[in-house]
Amino acid sequence: MGPKKPASAQVGKLTREKFTLEMKKDIIRKYDGGKRIADIAMEYGRNASTIGTIVANREKILATDAAKGVTRIAKNRPAVLKEVEKLLVIWMEEKQCAGDTVTEAVMCEKARA
């Protein structure tokens, strides 16, 4: 038995285009300028609910300061994790200066301790 879908059906798949942070901020500016969500959606060729979600998250989007072209913002890592990583790097540097070999297993054990 062959595949259920012909190969030609898979060739025509569309890829989802992501909004950059700059585009989201531009959408918010247009909305604040008095443009309707439906008009903005038509301009970008997207669903009105997508534009509405961007407008609803305006505080979070405008507060974000990221590099140009960024499409996704990762959540901040907990301060405890940053502290553990900092201490682990210091420990690794001390071990390397002493001439000891630092393997992945040794690092994992030290991080758990």
Structure confidence by residue, pLDDT tens digits, 99-112: 888 888 888 887 77
pLDDT at residue 39 in the model: 95
Q: Which residues contact 88 (CB under 8 A, 6 or more apart)?
A: 107, 110, 111
Residue 25 and residue 68 share a domain: yes
- What is the pLDDT at residue 31? 95
pTM across the whole model? 0.51
Are 67 and 26 contained in the same domain? yes
CA distances from 17 to 45, 46, 109 (A): 11, 10, 42
Q: What is the pLDDT of residues 27-75, one digit of tens each?
A: 999 999 999 999 999 999 999 999 999 999 999 888 876 655 555 666 6
Distance between start and end Cα atoms, the chain: 56
Domain membership of residue 32 as a residue range = 17-74
User: Does 22 share its domain with 70?
Assistant: yes
Question: Which one is predicted more confidently, 54 or 9?
Answer: 54
Furthest-apart CA pair in the chain: how many Å? 66
